[in-house]
Amino acid sequence: MKLLRFSAFLLLLPLSAVASTAHDFDFFYFVQQWPGSYCDTRQSCCYPSTGKPASDFGIHGLWPNYNDGSYPSNCDSDWPYDASEMNWPTLACPSGDGSSFWSHEWRKHGTCSESLLDQRSYFQAALYLKKQVDLLKVLQDAGIRPDGGFYSLRGIAGAIREAIGYTPGIQCNVDESGNRQLYQIYLCVDTWGKELIECPVFPRSKCSSRVEFPPF
């Protein structure tokens, strides 16, 4: 079943940062993160001052990228983060209201899209994409649930592609027991931050053929 009508194999190509002041780029990575995997590491996590977030994929960021796998970074130090703009929950430590994390995301990534999106439009685009693609529902409908079980990486990617029409990038991390677990899902988006597209390149997966989907 298609959830979206977007014209939207994991290539394990490395990403490399490029020092750049140019504001041109080829596409966005829209990165969603599973909180159970973020917290189930030696580093652990901190709930925001508003309390424990919902058990759902959270937004890590909306990142401008180039087709060759490199990406622009910190493009305009003269446009500071405005705390009154829209944002999303974060599990970064120390616990707080998230301003430090959102400021980092804007400075490092958002400023590199400012030729097309101002700060409010940048954060709104990420929130819009989150509403359009309910990854947790997609996976649960395919029988893939955050129950601590191990699931086929191919099955996870296939379920998402079946639902949205595009192949995701999938990234894993390692829990305290050394198990590979579902960590982040990358979707590729056009430069206006509106439409899903096929990914020109994917991040390093760091996954095994079967990965844990831990609860949160």
Enumerate the active-site residues.
60, 105, 109
Helix axes 119-132, 99-108, angle to 10 degrees: 100
Query: Residue 74 corresponds to which tokens in the numbers above?
Result: 């910190």
Whether the ω angle into residue 94 lies within 30 degrees of 0, i.e. cis, is yes
